[in-house]
Amino acid sequence: MRDIVIEKMYEWSRKPYQKYIKKNVPWEINKTELLTFPKESLGYRLGDFLRRNNFDIQAKLEDHDIIHVLTNTGTTVIEEIGMQYYLLGNRKKSLYLFMVILSGTIFYPTRLGYFFKQYKKGRNAMPFYYLDFSKMLLTPISSIQKTFKI
């Protein structure tokens, strides 16, 4: 039940964040096009992630799914919270990140060990959250992961 409550809360908060806070330009590509990229490229892996999870690209929020792909993070509520801890460790700061971490910590105190493990992984990686991933779609994912110690 709490997973459903958390998912609805995130869903509700995503729309104003996407509309009023995110200032980047939406990507001009869809998941079908991404699946034509070389198999080991970031673009293909993003398209595959979207296909496997039955997702579409969310305008201005494309980087979120890229982070899932680069960090090999799933899409459960616990994994989403863990990914935000990872990003905090990677030195990212945003209202959305702090909201997810606060609510996740309150609703899932028994998962703090997992969350702190994700934080440490993010801390050990070179900061990468700020990159313009739209220009890296043809880059092999392993190259990005190795370069930034992801």
pTM as predicted? 0.84
- Sign of torsion over alpha carbons 129, 135, 141, 145: negative
Q: pLDDT of 84-120, one tens digit each?
A: 999 999 999 988 899 899 999 999 999 999 999 999 9
* pLDDT for the residue numbered 95: 84
Is 149 in contact with 125 (CB distance < 8 Å)?
yes
Q: pLDDT of 15-26, one tens digit each?
A: 555 555 556 666
- Tokens 């970031």: give the residue: 42
